[in-house]
Structure formats: C-alpha cells, structure tokens
Amino acid sequence: MAGTRKVTVSTDAHGHTAGWSEAPSAPATTVPPDPTAAAFFDVDNTMMQGASIYWFARGLAARKYFTTGDLARFAWQQARFRLLATEHAGDMSQAKEAALAFVQGWRVDDIERLADEIFDELMAPRIWAGTRRLAQRHLDAGERVWLVSAAPVEIGRVIAARLGLTGAIGTVAEVVDGAYTGRLVGDLMHGPAKAEAVTQLAAVEGLDLDRCAAYSDSANDLPMLSAVGRAVAVNPDPALLRQARERGWDVRDFRTGRRAVRIAVPSTAAAGLLAGAVTAGLALHRRRHREA
C-alpha cells in the first residue's frame, strides 16, 4: 500500500478538530452514488472483534518490537488501570499523553506498511462477517461508508482500504517531513469527538445526517449514534443495549454461544495506556537496536 498521507483536517467554530482520510481507491459500485447518505461504523468490537490497536501491538510483538516480559508488564499495567481508573479529565490527559508518545519519531509510511501486514495476519480473521455485510449494503445502495475510530487515522485508512470502504475518521497526529512529531492535531477521536467529526464531515461532504446511519457496540458512542437518522447497536455492551431498547434502535448481535471475551480496551483512557505500552516497546526496540 502506498504510504502517502492524505488526511483532511477540519476545525469547527468551537475549535474542535476532526481528521478523515479516504481509502486509496474508491469502492466499486454499479449503482448511482447517493450524494447525501452515508454510514459510520465504529471499529473496535463493532467491525472487528477486539481493538485494532491491540492487534497492531500483537503484530509488533511478533516482529520482536516487544519481549514476552515487556508485554506481560504492559498488560498488568493496563489491567490495573482499568480496575482503578475512571474516565475523568485526568485520565483522559494520561490517555492523550500516551497517544502522543505512541507514534513519535515513526514515519507514516512505516506505520501504514506495518498496519497493512498486520491486517492480513491478525485483523482480517476477526472482522465480524455480519457487520461487514451491513457495510456492504450501504455501498450497494451507492452510499459512502466511513470507519470511525480512536486509532490513528492512518491505521483506520488501511483497514477501510482493505475492506473496500470509503475511508476512515480517526485521531490525527501531527506529521512533519513524513514523520510523527508526537503531538496531536485536536483530541482523541472518542465519545463526543466522534459526533463532532461526523457532523463536520457531513457539512464538508454535503451529507444529510437524517439520512445517515451509525453503528457501534459502546455507550461511549451515544453522541455519534444520536447525531444520525438511524442508529444501530452492534454487539452492544449492557449500557448501550438498554439505551437501544429505550430509544427503539435496531440491535444486531453477531456473537455466538458465550459472549465473546472483549480483548479490546473499553475506555479511551485504557486504550491510551495500551498505546503507551506499544510506545515503550518501540522505544526499547530502538534502544536495543542502537546498542547492538
């Protein structure tokens, strides 16, 4: 996959920033495009079993960016954080700092190359076939389909491209001369930020949000689900399932037998901590490489 970074960044009147990136090639369709309708899919546990950042970390571990001991220590730190922390402002600050460190010094084309490889190895087998069919129905109707994820927008773009979707909305990291600086452009793509990003994209692309749909597994995405005309709870957590029933939203559950164990991190703060774990592994790998 080409490593060219094509990220559109938009800031609204309130200073909220969103970034989106179209997939390298537009999905093929035999029907006239619908210029005012689109669908927005959360990624973790909605389109994919588990979290994209988790599988990315697993792929890096397989490439010796981590040792087994490193991963065990990072996993313990993450588990402890999940047990003790709540998503208040301080936690979000920690998550943002971890996300900043995650990509610092890395080149965009390296991240996209690794994400492309790791998609085939670890992500593709974990795409929910039912959710993928839902996305395809929108494409077959001539509608655009966007992924919406807290992951770096470049990783989201790789996933969207491999699934034949329109593109991805994600967290935007600042890039200078093809490398990440370790600073974010805007905030993590989470919670209300997703709704703001969808609204901004709709304004730029001429979408009618009343004709759009959104899909998610998490109550954290209630703002995005409430921003569109049709909301669908996919593999919902208990809080979202309650809201979906109260509001009369469609519910789709593609989990079979015992409910799938959520390998994904359910909170942004914990997700940021996992990104920090990835960062530490990358830094350790670079240090060992220099000392070798």
- 12, 34, 42, 253: which is the annotated catalytic residue? 42
**In the chain, what is the straight-line distance between the N-terminal and C-terminal CA atoms, in Å?**
31
For residue 269 the two structure tokens come to 């703060």
Q: Are 217 and 233 in contact (CB under 8 A)?
A: yes
Known active-site residue 44: yes
Single out the residue of 260, 112, 242, 238 nearest to residue 173, CA to CA: 112
Known active-site residue 187: no
Pairing of strands 230-234, 213-216: parallel
Q: Residues 263, 265, 268, CA angle at the centre, nearest 5°?
A: 165
Q: Which amino acid is residue 246, in one-letter code?
A: E
Q: How far is CA 198 from CA 6, 76, 277, in A?
A: 18, 35, 29
Q: State the Cα–Cα distance between residues 31 and 238, nearest whole angstrom.
A: 38
Q: State the Cα–Cα distance between residues 242 and 236, nearest whole angstrom.
A: 9
- 44, 91, 217, 221: which is the annotated catalytic residue? 44
Side-chain-facing half-sphere of 124: CA atoms under 13 Å: 12
Q: State the Cα–Cα distance between residues 36 and 207, nearest whole angstrom.
A: 4
Q: What secondary structure letter does DSSP report for 177?
A: T
**Would you name the residues annotated as active-site residues?**
42, 44
